[in-house]
Amino acid sequence: MAGYTGRLLILLSAFAAGAALAQNDPPFWRDLSPTMQGVLGPIEAEWAGMDAERRRKWIAIGQHYDTLTPGEQQNLLSRMRAWVQLSPSERERARDRYRQWLTIPPDQREALRERWQEYQNLPPEERARIRADDHR
Amino acid sequence: MNAAQSERLAHRIARRLDRGGLSPHQARRLSEARSRALDGFFAGGRWRRLRDRLAVPAVPAALAAIVLAVLLLPDTAERATPQAVAVVQPFRLDYGLLVDDLPIDAYLDEGFRQWLDTRADS
């Protein structure tokens, strides 16, 4: 039994060490250009906790910043932090639904944006009632 | 030394050089070795053979590249929309979600989906 526990502990330590090593991988925040640091500023606090793959993904996103319209740039800057603070399952759910959304024809997407605005204009208690109905 | 061993050695040397801290004597020896290797490459006829081999197909290839570039220019010059990037790039979905007009909450708000369904039914 002690042997089993010991091996389990070694295994868990190895996983922990692996995770710690991944977070010590470049690219480091200090290595980013000042421009990139400016774009990714909203997630600076979370950078150290990310593995190398996630960091590279954010750099790829940052590299497209100049190609965005001012409105899109604003969207990006205002959503980054909320996005990294979502749980992995919430991020996956949002990705799944965005994938579905991409298959909708552009005119219907536009209609959906308008529906979202309408929904946002509902009184908060009305929205709470709809959510409660959904869980029933 | 086989090819794999040579490659490992080359990587180790490159890592060591990346760390820096060479003495002036080591730096000079490396510089001399590099010059000797390059002299051997150019004088040995390999450079000439390589240049001769490349010269003939290079002209039509360059012309073909220019024609292709001109043909493709109108498409590539257009701005890739976030939705287009979302379809073709590896980091695509997150990028699209973050910049698109519809906020992330719209995808996660179960009430919104329920409300859309009831509207569709009525």
List the one residue out of A43, A33, A42 whose CA is nearest residue A63. Answer: A33
Distance from the Cα of B96 to chain A's closest Cα (Å) equals 8
Instruction: Give every residue of chain A whose pLDDT is below 50, as ranges.
Output: 1, 21
pLDDT at B41: 55
Cross-chain residue pair B102–A134, CB shorter than 8 Å: no
Dist CA B101 CA A122 (whole Å): 19
- Percent with pLDDT over 70 in chain A: 80
Residues 16-55 of A with CB under 8 A from B: none
pLDDT in tens, B56-112: 666 677 778 877 776 666 555 556 677 666 655 657 789 999 999 899 999 999 899
pLDDT at A37: 96
pTM for the full model? 0.55
pLDDT at B19 exceeding the cut of 80:
no
Residue A60 near residue B89 (C-beta atoms within 8 A): yes
| ipTM of the shown complex | 0.75
Cross-chain residue pair A134–B91, CB shorter than 8 Å: no
Dist CA A121 CA B112 (whole Å): 12
More confident residue, B113 or B39: B113
